[in-house]
Amino acid sequence: MSSVHVQRRSMMFRARSFMAFVFTPQPPIVEWLTELDASLERSTGFFVGHPVVLDLAGVQLSAPAIAHLIANLEERKIRVLGIEGVEPEVGETGLPPILRGGRGTRSFELPESQPAAAEPPAPLPPQKPASLMIEDPVRSGQSVVFIDGDVTVLGSVGSGAEIVAGGSIHIYGTLRGRAMAGAAGNARARIFCHRVEAELLAINSYYKTAEDIEDSLRHGPAQAWLEGDVLKMAALN
């Protein structure tokens, strides 16, 4: 008989990528904070609960100064998930972890803020098509974030659930929650759904809440797209 020996399985860790907003403070920091306050005023609470990364390559800050800046952001309910563009030693001071290798996306406009002078979007490098297919209903409280491409949901998206896609969003059931397409700065992304009862639709950060969705479109199949800075909707048939 062969001897039985128990082999310990190595522990499994899953990797997951999330989209974070990158803040690039410019000197003088005090003025930069004032500017930030001005934009936040137009979009209250926008960053609450969303991960934020501080890119400090453009400023020379000591570890205590960084800590002070983070405290200032925290007062504005902005939680810093990690920092970029600093010397590795800074990482040993109890500050958020130093991040490396983040993939850039185009810049992001706060909703409701005045549209900046339209800068011609840099053509994206050709990349292989990426899409995420979800076969089950997306339930209240669940958040599906897929920045690399399109998201297709075969079932419904419940009230209080959200889909965030770098590309377009296709929902074959009823959309009762939130759909945010083109989330990494793609103005050509669209949202299609078999039945709109949405709480919020957004493309490239321009959004419409339930109140702004025309009654004539509710309960039917519809699509949403961006024309300039206007989120348009039309029935699909």
Q: Please give the size of the binding site for another protein, defined by CB under 8 A.
A: 16
Residue of 85, 91, 155, 220 interacting with another protein (CB under 8 A):
155
Q: 3-state DSSP call for residue 35?
A: helix
Residue of 41, 74, 136, 229 interacting with another protein (CB under 8 A):
136
Residue of 23, 53, 170, 174 interacting with another protein (CB under 8 A):
174
| Calpha distance 212→144 (Å, rounded) | 24
Sole window of 27-35, 78-86, 140-148, 226-234 interacting with another protein (rule: CB under 8 A): 140-148
Cα–Cα distances in Å, from 103 out to 17, 109, 113, 163? 10, 18, 25, 20
Of 84 and 162, which CB lies nearer to another protein in the complex structure?
162
Structure tokens given for 142: 């669940």
Residue of 70, 78, 158, 162 interacting with another protein (CB under 8 A):
158
Residue 141 binds another protein, judged by CB under 8 A? yes
Sole window of 88-96, 99-107, 138-146, 229-237 interacting with another protein (rule: CB under 8 A): 138-146
| Calpha distance 223→229 (Å, rounded) | 16
Are 211 and 200 in contact by the 8 Å Cβ rule? The answer is no
181: β partners:
203
Residue 140 binds another protein, judged by CB under 8 A? yes
Of 102 and 221, which CB lies nearer to another protein in the complex structure?
221
Task: List CB contacts of 221: < 8 A, sequence separation 6 or more.
Answer: 192, 193, 194, 195, 196, 235, 236, 237
Binding footprint of another protein on the chain (CB under 8 A): 136-142, 155-156, 158-161, 173-174, 176
